């Protein structure tokens, strides 16, 4: 049976990991398993930016290849970036095997606001679904309530759903069937 894997990079709270595991199973229909945590991504640290290169972390994630792996999602507390943007909530290989989500800017505390666990966990789910959606070939959606809509500010994360819209659901199902014919995945929306 094919599995979607998640891997903590550095310390990640157990509640976050469990929440993301359940959400990914519900949206994508694959069994979700957890890999042994990877160390802090010191190799990806950019001292000038005081952030971590998501591209370098993705390179490490693509090397993870359990035999039954469908996709892998790295989850980190590190604040990540791509060169053309000051930050990203996550980064994925379009139609590739790996994605990453950063928890740093999903926390209310980052914005000097009181912590809110429920809001934080909802943001984690939305970004995990969004990034894994990219690995299955989904692009940014113009429906702002869709999990696949572009979120380059936290209020945009908050305004979207954790589910993909009906149009993205159709594309997702078609893409999964093309990639994994006969996978038996039934939970795809």
Q: Which residues are catalytic?
A: 131
Token readout for 158 is 């908050």
Q: How long is the chain?
A: 189
Strand, coil or helix: 82: coil
Strand, coil or helix: 50: coil
The DSSP letter of residue 175 is: H
Cα distance between residue 110 and residue 103, in whole Å: 10
User: Edge-to-edge strands of the sheet including 98-102?
Assistant: 31-34, 3-9, 69-76, 98-102, 90-92
Task: With residue 23 as reference, give the H or E element that holds it.
Answer: helix 14-28
Cα distance between residue 46 and residue 130, in whole Å: 25
Token readout for 114 is 């009181």
Task: With residue 179 as reference, give the H or E element that holds it.
Answer: helix 166-179
Q: Check if the beta carbon of residue 177 is closer than 8 Å to that of residue 163.
A: no
């Amino acid at each position: 049976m094919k599995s979607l894997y998640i891997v903590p990079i550095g310390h990640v709270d157990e509640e976050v990991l469990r929440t993301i595991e359940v959400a990914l199973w519900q949206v994508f229909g694959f069994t979700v398993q957890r890999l042994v945590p990877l160390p802090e991504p010191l190799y990806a640290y950019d001292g000038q930016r005081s952030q971590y290169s998501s591209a370098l972390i993705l390179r490490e994630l693509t090397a993870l290849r359990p035999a039954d792996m469908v996709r892998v999602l790295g989850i980190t507390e590190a604040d990540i970036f791509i060169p053309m943007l000051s930050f990203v909530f996550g980064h994925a290989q379009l139609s590739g095997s790996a994605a990453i989500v950063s928890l740093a800017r999903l926390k209310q505390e980052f914005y000097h606001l009181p912590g809110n666990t429920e809001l934080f966990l909802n943001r984690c789910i939305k970004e995990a679904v969004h990034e894994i959606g990219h690995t299955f070939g989904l692009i940014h959606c113009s429906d702002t309530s869709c999990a696949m809509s572009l979120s380059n500010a936290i209020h945009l994360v908050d305004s979207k759903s954790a589910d993909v819209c009906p149009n993205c659901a159709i594309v997702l199902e078609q893409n999964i069937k093309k990639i994994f014919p006969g996978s038996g995945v039934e939970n795809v929306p």
